[in-house]
Structures are given as C-alpha cells and as structure tokens.
Chain A
Amino acid sequence: MLDWLPYPHDFSAQLRDAVRADSAAERVGRLIALSQYRLDFLQTIQLNRAMDTILLQAGEVLPHYRLAILGSATVEHLAPAIRVAALRRQLWVDVYCCGYGQYRQEIMDPGSALHRFAPQTILFSIATMHAVPAVEPAATADEVDRLTGGVVEDLKSLWRRARQDLGAAIIHQTLLNVTEPLFGSFDRLVPGSPWRVVERLNHFLAETASAEGVSLLDIARAAQRDGQDSWFDAARMLQAKQEIAPQSAPMYGELVARLLGAHRGKSRKCLVLDLDNTLWGGVLGDDGVTGLVLGQGSAAGEAYLGVQRYARQLKERGIILAVCSKNDPVAAEEAFSSHPEMILKRSDIAAFMANWDDKAQNLEAIAGQLNIGLDSLVFLDDNPVERARVREALPVVAVPELPDDVSGYVRRLADAGYFEAISFTMEDQQRASQYSQNVERESMRGSAQSVDEFLQGLQMFVQYGPFAAVDLPRVTQLINKTNQFTPTTRRYSAEQIANYLSTAGTINLQFRLRDRFGDNGLVSAMLMLPVEGAAGCIEIDTWVMSCRVFGRQLEYEAMNIAVETARCNGIREIIATYIPTQKNSVIRDLYPKLGFRAANLPNQNPEASRWSLLLSEYIPCATHITREVRRP
C-alpha cells in the first residue's frame, strides 16, 4: 500500500528534528515533508502525535479543517491516517469521532458534541454488518430491493438532516462485501444471498449518493484491489470492533484525504511525461525513431502503448498532458509525428519541453506556460535519479515511485490517485483541447503587433446570465478549484451555493467565453450578497475566473455586466474584499484597476483590503469582447 511514495530515511530522527525546529512554519513544513513518505501504521501514529504536539502553532501556518467521522463501528484508529494523508495535501484536519454507534443520536441532538464541533465535512463510516438488513436466502429480488432500498432511504434522511443542520459536505463509504459464500459461485444468481444483498446495497448507495450530491468513499473497490483480508480482519472486529483493519488505515486515510483534497481543489490537474523508457522503450537519441520499442508484437512495446493509452484516457477526462524530456526537441517532435504506433499525438500535449536543461526548471516552465501551480503537476519518469532530483528541487510536484518493470507503470500511476474527482462536467471533457487551443492563441499573440491587435484578432464573445441548475456542478467546481483569480478564496459546496440562490437580494452571474479558436466554456462566476442593514448595497462574496482566460479582458467585461445587472436591481454601491493568499497575488490590484476605491470598512482579517464602487461613478471599460445572449 502507498507504494507510489518513497520510503523515509531514518524516520525517527527526522520526526524528532521536525518537532524541535525553530519556527512554527518550519515545524509544519517538516511534518508536511515527512507525510510525503510511505509510512506504515506505527509511523502514521507517530506523525499524528507530532502534529498534536505542535497543534497550537500550526493554526497560524495552515488553516484547520474539521472532519467528523460518524461510525457504526470503531473508527478512532483511522483518525491518525486521515490527518497524515490530509497533511500530505497541505491540509490540517481536526478529526472528531462520534461515540460508538451514536451517529444517529448525535446528528439529531443539537446539543451534541458533534454539533459543538461544527464539522465542515462528515464522513459516514457505516460498517457492513450494521447496514445489512435481515434477509432470508429465499427472499425474492423485489423483497431484497425493498429492504436494501429502505436502508439507503434511511441513510439519505440522515445525510439530509446532517447537511441541513450542520451545513457540512457529506462523504459516505461503500460497504465492504465481507460476506462468506453461502451457495458458492451460485451466490451471484440468488437475490437473497448475503453477497448479492451487499452488492445491491452498494448499488442503491451509489445511485442515491449521486442524486444527493454526496461523495462516495469507495473502500469496497479498494478492498477488491488490495485483497479483502488486508482491509477486514475478523480478529480486529472481535477484539476492538474495528471493521477497517489497522494495517489498511494508511490507505483508508489516503482515500479520505483524496476526497477532502478534491473538495478543496487539491487534486492534480496535469500529467507530465518523460519520453525515453517511459512513453516508449529505448533512447531516441541513440536508437532513432525506428529503433524505439513501441507497439504490438513485443510485450514491452505493448506495455509502453498501455502507458500512452492510459494517458490518453486521462486527457479525455480533462487531465492536461505535458512532456518533459532530455531530448533533442526536433527529434522528439518527430517521434510523435512519424512513429506509426504512437497513441498520443503531438496535439494531445499542451506543453512540450524537450531539451537538455534541468527537469525541475522545465517543470516550472510547463506550469508557467499552462498557468497552473506546480502543485497541480504529476511527473512520471522511469529514472530514479531524475525523480529524486525533482522531489528535492520541487517538493510540491508529485513524483510517483515506479516499479522497475514497465508492465506496472499504469497501475502504479492509477493507485496513486492524484486526479481524484468529485464531478465530471462538460468543461472537464473539453479542457484538454482548450489548453491545446491556448497554444494556438499564444502563437497568434507572437505574431500580433500589439496586445490590442491580438485581443481583437481573437474575436471573443461572452455569454452570461444567472446560474442555471445545469451550471451548478461547474460553478461549484470552479469556486472550489480556483486558487489564483479568487479575491476571497471562499469555498462552497453545491448545496450552499443552491441555498444562496434562493436568498432574496442575491445576484449571481456566470460567464462563458468563446473565440475563433474554440469555446472555453464556463470560465467565471460571481456571487454577490446583499449587505445587511444597508439598502442598495451589495457585496462581492465570491468571484472566480479560470486561469485559462487570464489576460483577455474578461474581468473588465464581467464587471461591466455586473454593474449593469446591479443597477437593474436598484443597487447603488458594490463592496468588495481582497484577502491575500499565497496564490492570488496575480489579482492584487484587481479592484483598483476596475475603478473601486479603498474603503474604510470593518475588517476581520488584518491582511485583507476592502473596496467600494459607487455605481453612479462607474465608467464602463471598453473591451474587445462582444456580448451574446445566452442560448436557452
């Protein structure tokens, strides 16, 4: 388990040094570094305890995030692994575990410790033995559906209650199918067999979770992958009422943290591929295009095809692909265009860096070219020296350990779960081609005489309007994934956003941008909330814009539209806040640029600045973007 992470060197000494480091930032930084290693069950407990010893100082360095685990069995032993895996993603999580089997009471009782804890996310960890209804082997399919459907309906009402009363995002774990064969292989054909009943429960769970916007933690799938015995140990269930065996706790924590990370925009966005002995066998510079091992007819050649096929699938679900290789650039491009067995085409690659420079430098250049953070990159390279070098120079880039043999590359990359998703939107499907279009746009920028000429030549159109129901998944994704163009960096769940929409006086706008090279999709969203006790005044609570469309004047046109919309709603003044983070300095001057004045308003955060715009003073900005009425 966790075998994409490298083993630590002298873990105990590193841990000791970490808690003794000079400053809080240094201590937290060292613990984050340690969390990047492949830690076993005992080391995980040790790192978790070290987090506790520096708890007080850490709040200044990383924001705390509250997770409640509502378990029907013992779950306390899972908390350290969840916290360590979250730390791996630079998330500091405080965990609350409900009393054994007390989850229902704690949700219902507004005075419970759960309510006092005020979790931002609730993880329902209901053990199979507690969820399975009593079903006779002779039960008909309809009876099984009625009983299992009833169990899931009951869970659904708990989700709704928890969401409504606590305002928390919900995660529910799938059921480990730890049933023993009753009929043997025939189990699969008998509706009332224990195995079938659990499968049916998981089926309804997935259907209902999807309809309710609940994220599934698929431990059933993970147990299938790792082997049921490593996840469930009858001895532990008997001794400590643990459904999840302690040795699987690190993986359980990793799976939970992937979801927490995905909710907070921490999933990786881009796969950067080495070429020689990663995408094909052999060394291009020595063997030439015709000498490469790639394609049908050889086991190794087919294995490299497998790597390409998986990368291609990732691209189709919205992961950006890039190349970073020590190679001659012309030869590398030629291999893409002229090798007949290549599954990946040059047009699949949004950023192509083949040269003799240091790979860490090239990765920085790739992040810059794509306008995404280094912490969005995964770097796949067969060479352990290069991997170690990149980890050393750029610790925020994910660099999976690879097995010696290429036959295991795809599985290892998949196991690492870098690209965990909680939704799959139209924008995801089109993203990769949008990045390729950006490469074309940039080459046009190079030939344009001026920025103005470039922007005019793009022939941009904006479509805008209030959020429609169909926009909500993408708007939620944008609000939670955007790290740069986000003046307040507030994160909201889909249900919170839906709640705002029904709040009187709220103005919300979404913007889509297309140009002659293609449609960028929904790239910006703005949420303005009425200011209490100040009629005619509204505040920009949240405004996000995809980094793909920076530098296209969309922020100006969006503000023109926002001001007109506000005027139609009788608004006289728009208030705005800029809260600096490590990542949003690109819009430090956003509001003054748009004509806002510094406002002397109460400020909870001393770092933040407040801004005000009197609509009577607003002068619309001329842009090269034409407005379009939204298609119905």
Chain B
Amino acid sequence: MTAGEVLKSFTQILRDLLGDDSIVLSPSTRRIDVSGWDSFNYVNFVVAVEMKFGVKFGVAEVESFQTVGEIVQRTLALLQASPR
C-alpha cells in the first residue's frame, strides 16, 4: 500500500466521521485545519484508522502526531512490520 492510498483512505474516514464530503487531506494537514476535528473526533479517527488497517498506535504517538502525513507514515510502518 502506498502513502497516497493510505491518505485517500484517511480522507474517506474523516469525511464519514464528520459528515463533510468537502474534506481533502494532504500530508501537511493539521487537525486545526479541519473544521470539527476536535479531540473527541481525533480519538474517533484513531479508532477508525486502527480498525480499518488492523494496526494499533501507542498512546504517546497519538499525542505526538502533528500532521496527517505523520499518521500516514506511522501506519505504513506498522503495516510493514505486521506479518501479512
């Protein structure tokens, strides 16, 4: 899976979560750039990503992510580390 595919999937998850089809995520998107992406929906987003990709982020990581790109990279790394 490529970073582009993961990003596209993230965009769909956030659209479903917030009910806003105009959302387009880029690697540099931060939470404050997206209307309605508060801490409550950040946890929901993390849960949805974890369920969709079958990965699990560390609690410290979740606190430290600054941009969507960082979450994409971490997801890819976890996917590669997990046995297929």
Contacts and interface: CB of A to CB of B under 8 A. Distances in A.
Most buried by B among A12, A49, A236, A239: A239
A299 interface: no
B47 interface: yes
Given A41-B48, A41-B51, A42-B48, A239 B16 contact: no
A76 B40 CA distance: 9
Nearest to B51: A247
A83 to B, nearest CB: 15
Contact of B13 (A12, A42, A77, A239): A42
A242 B63 CA distance: 16
B16 A46 contact: yes
Contact of B43 (A43, A45, A240, A247): A240
A239 B44 contact: no
Most buried by B among A40, A46, A236, A240: A240
B17 interface: yes
A41 B47 contact: yes
Interface string B41-61: 001101110010000110100
A235 interface: yes
Interface residues of A, number: 18
Contact of B17 (A42, A236, A239, A242): A42
Majority-rule SS of B interface residues: helix
A47 to B, nearest CB: 11
Contact of A42 (B16, B46, B57): B16
Contacts of B3: none
A46 B51 contact: no
A521 interface: no
Given A42-B13, A76-B40, A238-B59, A49 B19 contact: yes
Contact of B44 (A235, A238, A246): A246
B16 A247 contact: no
B51 A40 contact: yes
A45 B59 contact: no
B23 interface: no
Majority-rule SS of A interface residues: helix
A514 to B, nearest CB: 57
A45 B51 contact: no
A40 B44 CA distance: 12
Nearest to A234: B59
B62 interface: yes
A235 B59 contact: yes
B17 A247 contact: no
Contacts of A239: 43, 46, 59, 62-63
A3 to B, nearest CB: 16
A45 B44 contact: yes
A242 B57 CA distance: 17
A153 B62 CA distance: 40
Contacts of B46: 239
A169 B11 CA distance: 42
A240 B59 CA distance: 11
A77 B44 contact: yes
Contacts of B51: 40-42, 247
B37 to A, nearest CB: 14
Contacts of B19: 46, 49
A481 B40 CA distance: 39
A41 B13 CA distance: 11
B82 to A, nearest CB: 17
21 contacts: A41-B47, A41-B51, A42-B13, A42-B16, A42-B48, A43-B16, A46-B16, A77-B40, A77-B43, A235-B56, A235-B59, A235-B62, A238-B59, A239-B46, A239-B63, A240-B39, A240-B43, A246-B43, A246-B44, A246-B47, A247-B51
State the 9 A-B residue pairs at the shortest beta-carbon distance, nearest first.
A240-B43, A246-B47, A49-B19, A42-B48, A235-B59, A238-B59, A42-B16, A46-B16, A239-B43
Given A238-B59, A239-B43, A240-B40, 11 more contacts: A41-B47, A41-B48, A42-B13, A42-B16, A45-B16, A46-B19, A77-B40, A235-B57, A236-B43, A239-B63, A246-B47
